A and B are shown apart, each in its own frame.
Chain A
Amino acid sequence: MENHETILETKKLNLFYGDKQALIDVDLSVYKNHVTALIGPSGCGKSTLIRCFNRMNDLVSDCRIEGQVIYHDQNLYSPAVDVVHMRKKIGMVFQQPNPFPKSIYDNVAYGPRVHGIKDKKILDGIVEKSLMQAALWDEVHDRLDDPAMGLSGGQQQRLCIARTLAVEPEIILMDEPCSALDPIATAKIESLIDDLKKEYTVIIVTHSMSQASRVSDFTGFMYLGKMIEFGETEKIFTSPDEELTNNYITGRFG
């Protein structure tokens, strides 16, 4: 782990929803160009943690955060951070595919347009490249003006990934991106994730142990708001240090 470059890091991160504490002293290093999986039983704080990485929790009114999330030597929660720019660099893909009710093309071009790109040629290029990277181009290149809602669930999810890639992020956050998909669509997303890490850093929350072990390089196991164990995925799934991790991934509780 020592020779990997850290791209994102939490230091003693604590998060409260009102007086309920959802994250407790979480220390985590996310390594560049690797896939990090977050696993743990329902309610342990995986989504809460991943939402801290692009300050989605700002939208929750009584949410309070202590500690730091360091990204490029800067605390994401310091007032100096430009949240719009930060969200461009740290994109998010959700559990339910959520394309806009627009054409396939407009979905992907949306972000770049928001960031001021108007030139049709440049947009065309971005749309093609993003759809290629999201492994969707071959399936949709001849119907880019069709409504995105007409795509299958798996295609919609890849479209959402393309939409995230279109603004050239560094980090892609995925919260259970395959839970609404069938096994074939899931397999496509998984192999996509593997391709993506050449250029991006991926953090994925998943309930599927086998998915975590297939797609990730590092795995963090969370329980009751704490990061119980973090390490190389192979190690976590063959000989975790913590009994709690062992009991969870072998299905003895959860």
Chain B
Amino acid sequence: MSDKFQLELKKLKDYTLEMGEFSVGMFTDSLKALKDMDEVLAEEVHDRKKKLAYYSNKIDEETLRMLTLYQPVASDIRLISCISQMNTSLYRLGRNGKDIAQLTTSLPNTPHLKVFNSICHMAEYVTEMINDALESFKTEDPSKLLDLEKRDNYVDDLQEAIFRESFTYMMEDNRNISRCIEYVMISRYLERMGDHACLMGEKIYFMIEGKKLEFH
């Protein structure tokens, strides 16, 4: 197909990477706001949802337009179908950032409990998985995708542990309840984000290699 198409495809890929950065930003900033109990930052993250939706709609429109106009095949269709999945996943990632930010502003700011350290660790871990997926998408080097499933299993274990620990805190003292519910919810969001890193990873791997890599 034409150079015009290749140029547009390149632009769409860059735009997807831009959205990736934006969504990861919402996500990490929401956790930062939670950690520092920074309501101003939380509000600001919450407001970024409009721009997030704009990114997502734009990518939706562009992929549909390019499918219609150019009927892409082979590596081109693999790229577009990958971008479509990434759009869904990155949108969810940003929305989770928004939701975490909302918790920060709506729940009482009692001091964090020790279990919060596990939340921070889990958040960093999941963020790295997502960044590795984005990096592979950018460089078309699949090596960092191969152990995503293993890493996702670890994320599941972390969620379990946080759930159990939070539960113990709630039993101990019912003033811990609101914080602990918050932790349980957030660990659930984080666990979902691990899944999305895998979903993106599968599509990115297929985009690069033309072969399936299935995580279970």
Task: Tell me the A residues contacting B by CB distance below 8 Å.
Answer: 209-210, 213, 236-241, 245-246, 249-252
Contacts and interface: CB of A to CB of B under 8 A. Distances in A.
B1 interface: yes
Given A209-B71, A250-B72, 4 more contacts: A209-B73, A238-B78, A246-B74, A249-B73
Interface in B15-37: none
Contact of A238 (B1, B6, B74): B74
Contact of A250 (B74, B210, B211): B74
B9 to A, nearest CB: 10
Interface in B90-144: none
A254 to B, nearest CB: 10
Nearest to A243: B75
B185 interface: no
Contact of A251 (B5, B78, B210, B211): B5
A239 B211 contact: yes
The 4 closest A-B pairs by CB, nearest first: A239-B210, A251-B1, A237-B73, A246-B74
Nearest to A251: B1
Contacts of A237: 73-74, 77
Contacts of B1: 250-252
B2 interface: yes
A253 B29 CA distance: 45
A210 B71 contact: yes
Contacts of A251: 1-2, 5
A239 B208 CA distance: 10
Given A238-B210, A239-B210, A249 B74 contact: yes
A243 B45 CA distance: 44
A209 B5 CA distance: 16
A79 B72 CA distance: 47
B73 A245 contact: no
Query: By DSSP majority rule, is chain A's interface helix, strand, loop, or mixed?
Result: helix
Contacts of B72: 250
Interface string B46-74: 00000000000000000000000001111
A228 to B, nearest CB: 13
Contacts of B210: 238-241
Given A213-B73, A250-B72, A250-B73, A239 B5 contact: no
Max chain B Cβ within 10 angstroms of own Cβ: one of A213, A249, A251: A251
B76 interface: yes
A250 B76 contact: yes
17 contacts: A209-B71, A236-B74, A237-B77, A238-B74, A238-B77, A238-B78, A238-B210, A239-B74, A239-B206, A240-B74, A245-B74, A246-B74, A249-B74, A250-B72, A250-B74, A250-B75, A251-B2
Nearest to B207: A239
Nearest to B6: A252
A240 B75 CA distance: 8
Nearest to B9: A250
B12 to A, nearest CB: 15
Nearest to A210: B71
A40 to B, nearest CB: 15
A246 B72 CA distance: 11
Interface in B178-216: 206, 210-211
A162 B13 CA distance: 49
B69 to A, nearest CB: 12
A239 B78 contact: yes
A246 B75 contact: yes
Contacts of B76: 250
Contacts of B6: 252
Contacts of A250: 1, 72-76
A252 B7 CA distance: 12
